[in-house]
Chain A
Amino acid sequence: GQQVMQIPQYQHVQEGEDFTTYCNSSTTLSNIQWYKQRPGGHPVFLIQLVKSGEVKKQKRLTFQFGEAKKNSSLHITATQTTDVGTYFCAEAKTSYDKVIFGPGTSLSVIP
């Protein structure tokens, strides 16, 4: 069935280093949503990408949707300890009443 894969599964970075997580699918994605979940917390919506090649920025976070709409990435510039958490991508297929979450990338930031 439809799967959304994320790499890496875990990432440990030194504070100040950059971080990127990738979301991949074998089929064309309708759209991509990104969520962040702090340890012990609940997922919080970050952004939704819909258009091919779309790039959106939120302060130090840059989100990109691939030209073929089969992958997406989240890049964090100069990580801070507040960036710690798990980042999930999700595809919502409204035509099929489905939402598929990726397994997430867990980010640790070493001060």
Chain B
Amino acid sequence: NAGVTQTPKFRVLKTGQSMTLLCAQDMNHEYMYWYRQDPGMGLRLIHYSVGEGTTAKGEVPDGYNVSRLKKQNFLLGLESAAPSQTSVYFCASSYVVFGEQFFGPGTRLTVL
């Protein structure tokens, strides 16, 4: 089992560009999450999903959109990237809502 995988691992964008981060899990988890991690601030929840076709806002949703068209995939989109979105993005999934979370390896995004 691969667990939780994220694509890409690194990305550099220019301000105003768009991109999509892909998260995939093979554990048949219902619940999936997107976090951002900034130095000294721990992890902050951006959006989450409690099942295929559903999404909900987390703590810092502005500037991001998500989709969960398939149970195993959770996509995070940035429509118009800003330097404030420079961060490390982690995807996670869990069997129980907000229970033990399994994290992917992360995507390091830089917005110039």
Contact = CB atoms under 8 A, between A and B. Distances in A.
Interface residues of B, number: 24
B90 A101 contact: no
Interface residues of A, number: 22
Nearest to B104: A42
Interface in B65-112: 90, 92, 97-106
Given A42-B105, A43-B90, A97 B44 contact: no
Contact of B43 (A48, A98, A101): A101
B40 A103 contact: yes
B42 A94 contact: no
8 contacts: A9-B40, A44-B103, A45-B100, A98-B59, A99-B98, A101-B35, A103-B40, A103-B42
From A94, A98, A99, name the one whose CB has the most chain B CB atoms within 10 angstroms.
A99
